[in-house]
Amino acid sequence: GAGVSQSPRYKVAKRGQDVALRCDPISGHVSLFWYQQALGQGPEFLTYFQNEAQLDKSGLPSDRFFAERPEGSVSTLKIQRTQQEDSAVYLCASSPWGLRRGRDGNTIYFGEGSWLTVV
């Protein structure tokens, strides 16, 4: 597609429920990022994929968070046993570049986000 697509746009989950958030990056983009953005804050890094390899998951806040990108394109962020503090916007971003510095300065392109509310 032309841009990064995320679904669902809005999700209300009951506490304890599992959720899955999908990201469809720009076609051909090597890098894929997940960020968490709490209300009124900047995005905080969760995890990074280069193709299908998850090279950095240091930002995942607990073992309830899991991300995958099995074929190097679409990615899913799964949150198990959701808690109220998980309420946030989950942003996916992609970039055409991998580890090396790209000519565009490693610009990353964001989707519109998945707004998760845990009640």
Partner 1 sequence: GNSVTQMEGPVTLSEEAFLTINCTYTATGYPSLFWYVQYPGEGLQLLLKATKADDKGSNKGFEATYRKETTSFHLEKGSVQVSDSAVYFCALSKGGYGQNFVFGPGTRLSVLP
Q: Looking at beta carbons only, is 9 or 81 nearer to partner 1?
A: 9
Q: How far is the CB of 78 from partner 1 (least distance, A)?
A: 19
What SS3 state is found at 84? helix
Asked if residues 81 and 70 have their Cβ atoms less than 8 Å apart, the reply is no
Q: How many residues bind partner 1 (CB under 8 A)?
A: 34
Kindly state whether residue 14 participates in binding partner 1, applying the rule CB under 8 A.
no
Nearest residue to 7 via CA among 107, 116, 85, 80: 116
Binding mask 18-57 for partner 1 (x = CB under 8 A): -------------x-x------xxxxxx-xx-x----xx-
What SS3 state is found at 69? coil
How many CB atoms neighbour CB 47 within 10 A? 22
Structural tokens at position 10: 């809005």
Kindly state whether residue 65 participates in binding partner 1, applying the rule CB under 8 A.
no
Q: How far is the CB of 27 from partner 1 (least distance, A)?
A: 18
What SS3 state is found at 86? helix
Enumerate binding residues for partner 1 (CB under 8 A): 4, 6, 31, 33, 40-45, 47-48, 50, 55-56, 58-59, 91, 93, 98-102, 104-113
